[in-house]
Every structure is written in C-alpha cells, then in structure tokens.
Amino acid sequence: MKLYYIVLVAINILQVSFVFSAQCPVGWQLSVVDTTKCYLLVTDKATWSEAEQHCRQTASHLTSITSAFETSNLNSLVQNSLLIGPLDQIWIGASGINQDDRFIWTDGTPMSYTNWRIGEPYLLFSCVSSAAGSTGKWSTENCQTKNSFICEHYMVPTDRPTDCFDLQYRNGITKSGIYQIYPPGIAPFMAYCDLETDGGGWTVFQRRIDNTTTFYDKLWNDYKVGFNNGLDKNLWLGNDHIHILSTKDSDVELRVDFWGSRGPDFSPVPDGYWWEKHTNFHIDDEANFYTLHLSYRYTGNATTTQGAGIGSSVDCCFSTADVPNVADPTCFSEDGLGGWWMFQMCANSALNGKYQPPPAGYGFFWNGGPFVMNPLQSRMMLRSLVW
C-alpha cells in the first residue's frame, strides 16, 4: 500500500510538471483559469476579421471565453492596461451564423457559456465584442468596427502532437497509420497520418478508395463533423477539424493525389497517377462558410492550366445540397458533385462527387485543363510548413 502511494504521488508530480512544462510566448499572459492558455491584449484597433487574421499569424485565435472565471481573468487583463478605457469594446472570437441565434468560437470551442448584455445578441450584426474594461458583457457589432482585441494561444506540451507533422518531426514517429493528435482549442481526435509520401508529416483529410461510402448525398453537418468507413479508408475528416489544422500555423501546404481515370476518352493514361501541391492553404470557420484559400501557384502534374483544378475554387464557399450558398441547385441534383467549394456554375473539379457519375465532368471528377477525368481514387492532405 505504501509503495502504491509513493508511485501515485510520483505520477501526480510528473503530471503537474508536464502541465507547466511549457511557457507563454514573450509578451503573453498566462490564464489563471486554464494553465495551458495564454492571452495577448492587442491595443491597436482593427476590424473583427483583421483581428482574427492578426491572431492567426501568431498561431492563435481571437479568444474564446468558457466561464465566468475566465471573464473575470480577461476583465483584469484589460483593466490593467492604460491604453484601453472602461467604455471601450474588445473583440473576442465569437461570431454569428446566417444572422440567426447561433454563434460559434473561431477556435472550435463549444459555445457552452454566454455573457450577453441585456437586449443582445442583436442579430443584424454577427461579430461579438466584450465590455472587458467594465462589466465583461458581450454585444454584437458591425464587423467593420475597429476595436482592440485579445488573442489566445494554447500551450500544448511538446510530447502531444498538434498534427501529423509534429508526430513525425517532433515526436520521431515514422510509420504511417492512425494516431491521436491535439490541435489547439479543440478536443483531441484521431487522424490518419501519412508519414512517407513526399517527406511525410501529412494529415489526411479526404480519401476515396472505392464506392463503399457515399459522399455526394452528405449534408452540411455531415461535412462539418466528418464521416468515414475507417480512417484508413474512405474519409472526410470534418470541416471544423480542417479549419483548425489549416489555421493554427502561419503557412500550411495542401497536397492532392489521385489515381486512375475512368474516362479514357478524356485522359490518355487510364491507369495514371496525378498530384499537385499548393502553399498558403486554409479554410475559414463555419461562420464564413469554410471558404477556401490557397496559393494559385502549384507544383505537380494534375493541372496544366492556371485556374483549373482546385485553383478554380479559391475564395469559394463550401457548399452542400442543403446549404448551397451561391451554387446552383443542379450542382447537386443533376451533377452529383457533393460537398465542395463551388461558384455559381458549380466547380471545375469536385473530389467528393458521386462515385458512379454521369459523363466526365460530373460527379467525382477532376478538370486539370486539357483533360477531364473521373478518378478511381483520391486523397487530400495538409502539412505545416512552420518548423
């Protein structure tokens, strides 16, 4: 019994030292509520989107607030600043969806706590600020208003990989497979890590290997949370997860691979293999419809014309049959494109389309410029370029 007690105490000591092993970046303040969380009060004023982008450049987000204790912590942070007055509003990371009563945090934290001022939220506006210099109550404001803001940064202990890149290059794992990862701001989850292709470090977020899982009939929430028939098989990791993984670092790389063509009249290599890579990849949060961003410049052989392939979907909202955004309804009912980043006339490529499609150019297809094909298999992966 005594030996058991000694071992238990030792474990507790190790756990405490593990939690405190990381330190806040210079200039940031440790949360007194969550010892893995740091805050940065930025007194320069910016619009809500500019503020969130500023935070992302420091591997952070506008802060979430999860309790009355955290409200008090943030109020103290602001009230101790000589550059912010008691009547100033401070941007936080909450934003509305479709001007209804649904609000979300940019870091993916569940909206389980609210602190609205009486009469709020005013649904004409969708960006949320806090009266942190006084009451800490929340209000909605025009997103173009310029306010000071608070960024949050989660200190993940070094032996907890935030993605597959960390798993390989900081933890020394070299075998591809399914692993648990710990991205900042959300609960840990399992993902398939490709640790062999092109130097490894890739987190796989889309894969088609056969027709055993349908993608074209899935709705907005299906794509939001993700679906699969095995993380090593047909897979969509989930837009919320892809958003966090693609925004937690200042530069993230996208790789697209696909194999085989079931349209030999359009592609001269029915058993071929194609790929391409883009830098500066990320997708927005749900409040901004998971809009796609990436560099138009690319390497690889999958696209021969700039603006073809996935490059044609830059700055497009993610669309599904029940939330089509600007996409024409026929993109889903007739073309069978499934969830994808679409403009009004659908898309030039759609790797989540119907597996058994109409003629080439519909369903599960890729238009790389002079050729259009319906692949047999596909894969999409992301990897941090920040060491």
pLDDT at 215 over 90: yes
Residues 6+ apart with CB under 8 A from 172: none
Choice between 369 and 13, residue whose per-residue pLDDT is larger: 369
66-75 residue pLDDT tens: 999 999 999 9
Is residue 212 a contact partner of residue 377, using CB atoms and an 8 Å limit?
A: no
Spatial distance between the Cα atoms of 380 and 276, rounded to a whole number of angstroms: 10
Q: What is the pLDDT of residue 8?
A: 31
> What value does the mean pLDDT take over residues 177-201?
92
Distances (CA, A) of 385 to 4, 168, 247, 295: 45, 13, 12, 14
pLDDT at 106 over 70: yes
pLDDT at 2 over 70: no
Is residue 286 a contact partner of residue 240, using CB atoms and an 8 Å limit?
A: yes
Could you tell me the two tokens for 38?
Answer: 């740091």
Q: What are phi and psi of 93, to 5 degrees?
A: -85, 15
Is residue 207 a contact partner of residue 351, using CB atoms and an 8 Å limit?
A: no
Residues 6+ apart with CB under 8 A from 98: none
Burial class (CB in 10 A: 0-12, 13-18, 19+), 268: exposed
Element (H, E) at 68: helix 68-79
Q: What is the pLDDT of residue 261?
A: 80
Q: Which amino acid is at 84?
A: I
DSSP annotation of 311 reads G
> What value does the mean pLDDT take over residues 22-36?
84
pLDDT at 1 over 60: no
Q: What is the pLDDT of residue 62?
A: 95
232-254 residue pLDDT tens: 999 999 999 999 999 999 899 99
Spatial distance between the Cα atoms of 281 and 303, rounded to a whole number of angstroms: 17
DSSP annotation of 76 reads H
The three-point CA angle 132-90-78 to 5° equals 45
Spatial distance between the Cα atoms of 23 and 321, rounded to a whole number of angstroms: 45
Q: What is the pLDDT of residue 263?
A: 62
> What value does the mean pLDDT take over residues 27-35?
88
Q: What is the pLDDT of residue 269?
A: 67
Q: What are phi and psi of 135, to 5 degrees?
A: -85, -25
pLDDT at 378 over 80: yes
334-374 residue pLDDT tens: 899 999 999 999 999 999 999 976 666 689 999 987 778 88
List 38's β-bridge partners, or say none. Answer: 30, 153
- In the chain, the domains with their CATH numbers are 22-154 (3.10.100.10), 164-384 (3.90.215.10)
CB atoms within 10 A of CB 327: 25
323-334 residue pLDDT tens: 999 999 999 998
Is residue 258 a contact partner of residue 243, using CB atoms and an 8 Å limit?
A: no
Q: What is the pLDDT of residue 12?
A: 35
Choice between 5 and 276, residue whose per-residue pLDDT is larger: 276
Percent of the chain at pLDDT above 70?
89
Spatial distance between the Cα atoms of 380 and 240, rounded to a whole number of angstroms: 16
H-state helical runs in 181-250: 220-225, 239-247
First to last CA, the chain: 46
Is residue 224 a contact partner of residue 238, using CB atoms and an 8 Å limit?
A: yes
127-169 residue pLDDT tens: 999 999 999 999 999 999 999 999 998 876 656 889 999 988 8
Burial class (CB in 10 A: 0-12, 13-18, 19+), 353: buried
DSSP string, 13-59: HHHHHHHTSS-PPTT-EE-SS-TTEEEEEEEEEE-HHHHHHHHHTTT
- Nearest CA-CA partner of 248 in 182, 179, 338: 182
Could you tell me the two tokens for 173?
Answer: 């794992």
Percent of the chain at pLDDT above 90?
65
